[in-house]
Amino acid sequence: MKSKEHLCLIILEDFGLMIDAPENVLLRMKNSHIKDGDTFWEWQFRIFGTRINQLKVYQIITPDNDKLMSDLLDASGGKHLLSTHKKFEAYKDNTIKNLHCKLKKEEQKHINNMECFTKNDKTYPIDALKDVLDKRKETLTPATLENLNRIILQHKNDCELETLIEEIINIYDKSVRQHKMK
């Protein structure tokens, strides 16, 4: 579930408004936009489905010189802005860490496949063949998919490279012969 701060950040990004409201109100947020001539009430109704008394919109103002600092601090939304910023930074950092971990795992998988291939030039990692098949399965014919899957099932671990090439050549040859017979 999205936090209050994350929802406020979405409003800031989508509408350019820094707002604050109770989390249960923000959770009712719908996708919409500002229409020309909208009043604040019309916009609230379209975004949240109701008028919200607790909704605050923060504005930049030039205060009078005799304005009490305590009043300015209450009205400025600085604490809310700082909280939103911290939550966003944590979210961003966490997202970057997760993406980095995912990329490192994928990279390590490919490195492992290549190490298997280079350590022993006579075998090919069956997982690498599975990866290639997964990437191409939408563009391959059903017969090709069936034959390659059969090869994968026959070889639980690494496959002798010579055997793999021989099987693929046999599949290709059989397909060409059948095509010529038609």
Residue-level pLDDT, tens digit, the chain, 182 residues: 577 888 888 888 888 888 888 888 788 888 777 778 888 888 888 888 888 888 888 877 787 888 788 777 777 777 777 777 777 777 777 778 888 788 888 777 776 666 655 555 677 778 888 888 888 888 888 878 888 888 888 877 777 777 778 888 888 777 777 777 76
Element (H, E) at 20: strand 18-20
Cα–Cα dist 30/36, whole Å: 18
Provide the residue type at 179 as one letter.
H
Among residues 102, 100, 95, the alpha carbon closest in space to that of 6 is found at 95
pLDDT at position 131, please?
85
Residues 6 or more apart whose Cβ sits within 8 Å of residue 164: 124, 129, 151, 155
Instruction: Look up the pTM and report it.
Output: 0.42
103-133 b/e (C-beta count within 10 Å ≥ 16 → b): eeeeeeeeeebeebeeeeeebbbbebbeeeb
Among residues 30, 33, 24, 18, the alpha carbon closest in space to that of 3 is found at 24
Percent of the chain with pLDDT over 70: 92
